[in-house]
Structures are given as structure tokens and as C-alpha cells.
Amino acid sequence: MATFHHYPFCPQSRFIRLVLGEMGIAPATVEEKPWERSQSLLMINPAGHLPIFVEEQGLAVPGAAVIAEYLDETRGLGLDGRRLLPDHPADRVEVRRLMEWFLVKFFEEVSAYLVTEKIYKRFMKAELGGGPPDMAAIRAGRSNVRYHLQYIGFLIGKRNWLAGPDLTYADLAAAAHLSCVDYLGDVPWEEDETAKAWYARVKSRPSFRALLTDRVPGMAPAAHYEDLDF
Amino acid sequence: MATFHHYPFCPQSRFIRLVLGEMGIAPATVEEKPWERSQSLLMINPAGHLPIFVEEQGLAVPGAAVIAEYLDETRGLGLDGRRLLPDHPADRVEVRRLMEWFLVKFFEEVSAYLVTEKIYKRFMKAELGGGPPDMAAIRAGRSNVRYHLQYIGFLIGKRNWLAGPDLTYADLAAAAHLSCVDYLGDVPWEEDETAKAWYARVKSRPSFRALLTDRVPGMAPAAHYEDLDF
């Protein structure tokens, strides 16, 4: 059986949990604390980041984007028989463009700020940067998320799903990152009804259920976090 | 004919220039100023970053990693008949892991700091952040590059090229980013002879020649920049 190393509130890990769910793959899971950069984690991924997918034969596949490409090449089809990274080169460009948008740009501008400041820092030792959140970083994340929400609304105004007619990695990457921010109550859904309706559709998929039951110890989610009709 | 939008000292653009050179593809080129985020650039890549590869039929492929995947899928083979992203899934994981290492991690920790502070800021208007370099950012880049150089030396101590027996995207991504830092004289080559010998091999490839003739107006390169036997 394969093993999946992740942290429940790491948005990159959540993306691959959704992918695995959509593909019907249920690996063993190991919860890691990404802020500790433990030796055992660095042994399987020298870059030190999550998630990591390890095949039963030992091959370690590190990082959300690399895992997504690998699973497409080795497992391929979602449960409904469609590829989450579609076949045509131009469609693949659009899915990868948006996947990178959320895994890199949204992460740098929104989710890394909010998750680090509000969640990771609660558990980090003071000498590793733990302590009270940096309010300037939180304000930056909260401000930046509005533009991304608008962009989702703009795309969904033209298409059924983010990258085209079908659900793809782009939707899963975007929803995974947004779900962490949503737990913290920092997505201004009222500002874009189109984006909100798209998120409700992704959120109601069976692959999303496990994410909705995750809890940060000592920190309740936003009131609507689990609500499929928020 | 395809068109390639780039900036000569954008390390992500340089990576794709090397890939195009290795594949024997010579598109028309358009030089952009990445710090201007012009409307025309945002029209073809809403994320606003370089490089962008535009097919003659109009398909715009934005971002170094997305272009690399696209060129592999549509052009495939390097001039010597080998794929720069090899066939076997495990080999592809290693190439993509290292490609991401340099395009994301090295960029964030080294090349973005140094290129922005030392080159882009010379040409940026003051209201957009131009002006004298931030010495703390330069120190951070100069300090971080040492660890990456060691990591290259470590890998090349075990393998012929960065990701395995053959030249791949990993070598081109690493060398492209290092080449910008090398122009600025900020690679401490004397600290790792193994990494230096690897770089000399990449630097002597015909695909590298155009990079060695680039000049920043008013700013000469480090003395050894063009020297193949530095």
C-alpha cells in the first residue's frame, strides 16, 4: 500500500487528498508537522515541504504539483472515467496554468500567510518563529483573497468548471487552498456569488468530506465551514 | 512561427531559452519588461509573469514550468534524440522535483532577490519600487546560494547530470537560474569544484551561447561570465 505524508491544514496536502479521493485511491496516511522540518521528512523530501506520496516499492514523490503529474501518468482516470488533467495539449496548458496559479500564486499571496500566521504559529516553538500572529501578514492575505475570488467568478462566468467544461486539477487545487482559508473565516463569499456557487459544487463532492471533518485543536472552524449550502 | 515573450535576465525565461535551443526551436522573440506588468502582457498571461510561448495559431502558454511540459508533449525530443523529460515515471518525478527546486525554491531564495535588487530596480520607476537595492535582500540571496551550490555538488557526486545519467530539464533550470546570479558575480564557485565542473559542462553547450552574449545596459558581467573554462 502507498503512504501519504500530509498535514490536515496544509493547503498543498489538501489538494492531493482531493485528487486521491477523486481517483478512489486510499493510501495509508502519516500526519506530519510541516513547521518542524524533521530529519525523517527531509530524508524523503530534501526540500522539506508537504505533501509526499510514497509508493509501496519505496519511490517517494514530493510536492503537490509533482504528485499530480505522477498520479495522472500512473493512475490517470478519475472515478467517473475522465482524466483530471485532460488529454488535449491546449486543455492541459489551461489546467496547469490554473493549477500553478493556486499552488504557487494563491499560496504565496493568501493561503501561506493565513495558515502560517493563524495555525502553524500556534504550534511552533518560539525559537522557530512561533507565537502571536503577524497582523500585517494576515491583513495582506485577507486583502489578496478578494482578487482571487473575483478571478474565479470571472472564469466561472464563462465556463462550467475553472479550466473548461469538466472538473479538473484546477478546481481541486483552488478549492483545497480556499478550504483552509474558509476554515479560518477569511473568504468574503458575499463578494462573489458565482465563485461561491462554484465552491459549493466542489464542496459537495464525496472527495471533500474528509476535509470538512478536520479540526485544528483548540480552534473551531468558521460557522459555515461544514455547511454544504452556506 | 511561434513567438517567445521573455526578458534576457529573467531566470525563468532563460530556462525556456535553453530548452528551445536544445530542441532546435527558434521562435520569434519579443523582449518584455517584467516589472512593468503591461496590459498587453496581462492579456496573454493574467498572472503577469514571464516567459510566455505563443503558438502561431494563437495558443498562449504562460510560465516556465507549464511551457516545459507543453514543449515536451508537443515537440518532445532534444536535438540528440533524447527527451529532456525522460520516459519512465520515476525518472520524471526526479526531473520534476529538481525543476521545481530551481524554478520555485531557488528562485524564491536566491535568484528573485538578486535579479530584482540588482537589475530590475535599476529600471523600475520609483513609484513601482525602483531605486537603490535592498542590501538585506542581496545578503539573503548571497547567503542562500551557497547551500544550493552544495546540493548541486552533492547530486553531481552521485550522477552524471543533476537528475540522472542524461541531461534533462533539471540541468537547464538550474543552470539558467545560476547564470543570472553568475552575471552578477554572486556564485561562490570556489566553494564547490564539483558543482563548478557541472556548470562548465552546461555552459559549453551551444544552447547556452546566446545567454552569454546578453548584457544589462550600463552593467558589465562578472569577469568570468563568458569564460567557458572559468
| Residue B148 is assigned to a structural domain of this protein | yes
Could you tell me if A60 and A44 are in contact, meaning their C-beta atoms sit under 8 angstroms apart? yes
C-alpha to C-alpha distance for B46 and B36, rounded to whole angstroms = 13
Query: Does A136 lie in the same domain as A179?
Result: yes
Q: Nearest CA to CA, how far is B174 from chain A (Å)? A: 15
Same domain, residue pair B132 and B207: yes
CA dist list (Å): B175 to B46, B76, B110? 27, 20, 13
Give me the residues of A, 56-85, that contact B with CB < 8 A.
Answer: 59, 61-63, 65-66, 69-70, 73-74
Predicted confidence (pLDDT) at residue A79 exceeds the cutoff of 80? no
Q: Distance (Å, rounded) from C-alpha A90 to C-alpha A99?
A: 14
- A-contacting residues of B 96-125, CB under 8 Å? 96-97, 100-101, 104-105
Q: Say whether both B95 and B205 belong to one domain.
A: yes
Is B222 within a domain?
Answer: no
Least confident of B129-138, B147-156, B190-199: B129-138
Which of A37, A50, A66 to substitute to test the interface with B, most B CBs within 10 Å?
A66
Residue that terminates a domain, selected from B74, B97, B120: B74
Check whether residue B42 and residue B99 sit in a common domain: no
- Same domain? For A95 and A202 the reply is yes
How many separate helices (H) and strands (E) can be counted in chain B?
10, 4
A178 located within any domain: yes
Same domain, A111 and A33: no
Cell numbers standing for residue A185: 473565516
pLDDT of residue A136: 97
Report chain A residues whose CB lies below 8 A from the CB of B59. 90, 93
What's the structural domain count of chain A? 2
Expressed as residue numbers, the domain containing A57 is 3-74
End-of-domain residue from the set B74, B109, B128? B74
Q: Answer whether residue A8 is part of any domain.
A: yes
Contacts of A63 in chain B (CB under 8 A): 97, 100
Task: Give the C-alpha separation, A41 to A32, whole Å.
Answer: 8
Residue B93 falls inside a structural domain: yes
Residues 141-160 of chain B whose Cβ lies under 8 A from any Cβ of chain A:
151
Q: pLDDT tens for residues A100-155?
A: 999 999 999 999 999 999 999 999 998 888 889 999 999 999 999 999 999 999 99
Question: Is the same domain home to A112 and A31?
Answer: no
CATH number at residue B64: 3.40.30.10
ipTM: 0.94
Give the Å distances, CA to CA, from A99 to A168, B141, B175, B204: 9, 27, 25, 35
CATH code of the domain in which A193 resides: 1.20.1050.10
Q: How many CB atoms lie within 10 A of CB B177?
A: 26
Long-range Cβ contacts of B136-140 (<8 Å, 24+ apart)? B137/B113, B138/B113, B138/B114, B140/B109, B140/B113
In angstroms, what separates the C-alpha of B138 from chain A's closest C-alpha? 20
**Shared domain check, B56 and B28:** yes
Model pLDDT, residue A81: 78
> pLDDT, tens digit, for every residue of B20-40?
999 999 999 999 998 887 888
Please report the sign of the dihedral spanned by the C-alpha atoms of residue A3, residue B72, residue B3, residue B216.
positive
Question: Domain for residue A230, yes or no?
Answer: no
Neighboring chain B residues of A87 at a CB cutoff of 8 Å: none
Alpha helices in B30-126 (DSSP H): 39-44, 64-74, 89-100, 112-115, 121-123
Minimal CA separation from B89 to chain A, in Å: 7
Task: Tell me whether residue A83 is in a domain.
Answer: no
Domain co-membership, B43 together with B122: no
Distance CA B224, CA A212 (A): 56
Which of B91, B97, B106 has the highest number of chain A CBs within 10 A, making it the mutation to test binding with A? B97
Residues A145 and A116 grouped into a single domain: yes
CB atoms within 10 A of CB B115: 24
Q: Which residue in chain A has the smallest CA separation from B87?
A: A73
- Assess whether A160 and A129 both reside in one domain: yes
pLDDT band at B76 (very low <50, low <70, confident <90, very high): confident
Q: For residue A189, is it within any domain?
A: yes
Q: What are phi and psi of B178, to 5 degrees?
A: -65, -35
* In a shared domain, residues A97 and A129: yes
**Which residue among A48, A74, A100 closes a domain?**
A74
Q: Is the peptide bond before B86 cis (omega within 30 degrees of 0)?
A: no
